[in-house]
Chains A and B, each alone.
Chain A
Amino acid sequence: MSTLVFLEQHGGELQKGSLGVLAKAASLGDTVDAVIVGEDARSLAAKAAGASKVYVAGDEALEQPLPQPRVDVLAAIVRDNGYETVLFANSVLAADVAAGLAARLDAGLNWDLVDIESRDGTLVGKRPALQDTVLVDVGWRSTPRLALFRAGSFDAGEAAGGEPQVEEVSVELQEHSTGAKLVGHEQEQSAGPSIEDADIIVAGGRGLGAPESFTLAEELAGALGGAVGATRAVVDAGWYPYSAQIGQTGKVVSPKLYVALGISGAIQHKVGMQSSNVIVAINKDPNAPIFEFSDLGVVGDVHEIVPKLTELVKQRKAG
């Protein structure tokens, strides 16, 4: 079985989620190659720990983070080299690439997977469904098999073995793939690391009471070395930027630790964070649904507990 992993890069950095998928693919025991598209592709190839070979496509036409030219690149690599499996870490860009590739190759795509295993030589994907109340085993009826993994499903691997072999690819782009053009970019203000890549997330909801209270979340996140997330309600209310939104209409994350401050745990939010390894929730409402899926639930006032908690965490880290 030969596997190809799409390594997404942004601003000259490989995205942690796709490195996690690469590490997982390598752990399945077969040869795993990777593809990096964009201007810095060549220089990033050495960082693809676990890949035997890295295809790099760095044409000028591929600089913009748009999906359709990437479909052209992947389709050519898969066709020319006969890859049986193509794996992606979910993102706005990767989902569009994977779906476009599925249509181009008439290949089965399973999405929102949290794991994959080889069962008697057959690949089986694990997909939580119906607000994560069911865990579905999914399969593929043909090759190539395409899969999109939920953010944070796997840890990135340590660099092992030698540097991957690098192969430059140049692909002729289809006419319809070059129609869309990026003409501008607006960076959103966001403090600290992005929530997709964070091992620890401190998220705030309406229970914080006021936008100023997000400093509680920011300070705790700072002390823990994590990122700040937010519920849809507070993003809609303008308390925090959309890039931090976690939930059905925002990002789906699964960090090692998720600290929920003043979050009730509505289903909309739950689907975005419940596969986190450890969930700690603080909420003054003892009946808040979040307590049903928290490892440690604390009934209390975030304004009293969080400053103390931040201080204790800082002391512990200092000592």
Chain B
Amino acid sequence: MKIAVCVKHVPEGHARIDPGSKRLDRTGEGALNHFDANAVEEALRLKGDSDTEVVAVSLGPAKAADSLRKALAMGADRAVLVSDDAAAGSDLVATSAILAAVLERESADLVLFGQQASDADGAVLWAAVAERLRRPVVSQAAELTVNDGSLRAKRQTEFGYDVIEAPLPAVVAVSDAINEPRYPSLKGIMGAKKKPFDTLTLGDVGVDAGSAGEAGSQTEVLSLGEPPSRGDARKIDDDGSAAQQIVDFLAEKRLL
């Protein structure tokens, strides 16, 4: 079996949006999106001692290689980075097209995603990628088993857990409740340097530059502004009358 895990390299620490390009500033230090570590871990758990191949896939700047190396250090067998200046600023439509193109090349039995990107708070990519690959998709998987060409997942929803079965090949986004990602061992980190690592351009995966980056995007950021502030915040110390003061406050706000 072959499992592809999609990972994202996200800015570390205090993220900012560049006022000029109106894009997230990706020039600083970055790290593997921690939700994606759950997807890598799940791939490694499914692999176990079998001969299943786990390939980590990313789309991002050259620095995204660091996050792929972390996936390799955790135990992935191979990494593929699609990195191309023309891909910068890609929205969902463009990003899903590029990822689908590289995943098409890999033709994995199972494609795994983490539950969201910690930088853009996006939780939409897998469904778009699955649609482009024309494969079944299950998101928010809190448990996953794979058997005989099909998968079974327990999906967390607002209404409890759905148990879903789907034939492979399929796309699954795992919830961060599914496992506790391992830390790479020193041996893993050293070994990662020798594992196969491909860096591809848009041309290599057969995506036209016009379908990527801002040119291929259908959404845009128009302007950046300040969020509305909470005007008259009050803070009191409880002197025994706090409960009454809260009731008065709620009444004043017409919430009672």
Hey, what's the 0/1 contact readout for B225-241 against A, CB within 8 Å counting as 1? 11110101111111000
Hey, what's the 0/1 contact readout for B217-251 against A, CB within 8 Å counting as 1? 11111111111101011111110001111110111
Most A CB contacts (10 A, CB to CB) among B140, B249, B250 go to B250
Please state if B139 and A176 are interface contacts (CB–CB under 8 Å): no
Determine the main DSSP class of A at the interface with B: mixed
Please state if B131 and A71 are interface contacts (CB–CB under 8 Å): yes
* Contact residues on B (Cβ < 8 Å of other chain), bracket: 35 or more
How many residues of chain A get a CB closer than 8 Å to chain B's CBs? Answer: 93
Please state if B222 and A93 are interface contacts (CB–CB under 8 Å): no
A108 interfacial by beta-carbon distance below 8 Å: yes
Most B CB contacts (10 A, CB to CB) among A71, A132, A136, A224 go to A136
A308 interfacial by beta-carbon distance below 8 Å: yes
Please state if A271 and B121 are interface contacts (CB–CB under 8 Å): yes
- When A257-B255, A295-B233 are in contact, do A181 and B227 touch as well, CB less than 8 Å? no
Please state if B124 and A111 are interface contacts (CB–CB under 8 Å): yes
A262 interfacial by beta-carbon distance below 8 Å: no
Q: Which of B126, B218, B228 contacts A140 (CB 8 A)?
A: B218
B160 interfacial by beta-carbon distance below 8 Å: yes
Chain A: minimal CB distance from B241 (Å): 9
Q: Which of B45-53, B71-79, B163-171, B191-199 contacts A (4 or more CB under 8 A)?
A: B163-171
Please state if B222 and A137 are interface contacts (CB–CB under 8 Å): yes
Please state if A181 and B164 are interface contacts (CB–CB under 8 Å): yes
B92 interfacial by beta-carbon distance below 8 Å: yes
Hey, what's the 0/1 contact readout for A291-319 against B, CB within 8 Å counting as 1? 10111111111001110110111001100
A153 interfacial by beta-carbon distance below 8 Å: no
Please state if A182 and B243 are interface contacts (CB–CB under 8 Å): no
Chain A, Cβ-Cβ closest to B16: A130
Please state if B156 and A184 are interface contacts (CB–CB under 8 Å): no
Chain B contacts to A: CB under 8 angstroms: 15-17, 22, 35, 91-93, 96-97, 115-116, 118, 120-132, 134-140, 152, 154-167, 170, 175-177, 217-228, 230, 232-238, 242-247, 249-251, 253, 255-256
Chain A contacts to B: CB under 8 angstroms: 10-11, 65-68, 71, 91-93, 95-100, 102-104, 106-112, 124, 128-130, 132-142, 148, 174-177, 179-188, 194, 196, 200, 224, 242-243, 248-249, 251, 256-257, 271, 278-280, 282, 286, 291, 293-301, 304-306, 308-309, 311-313, 316-317
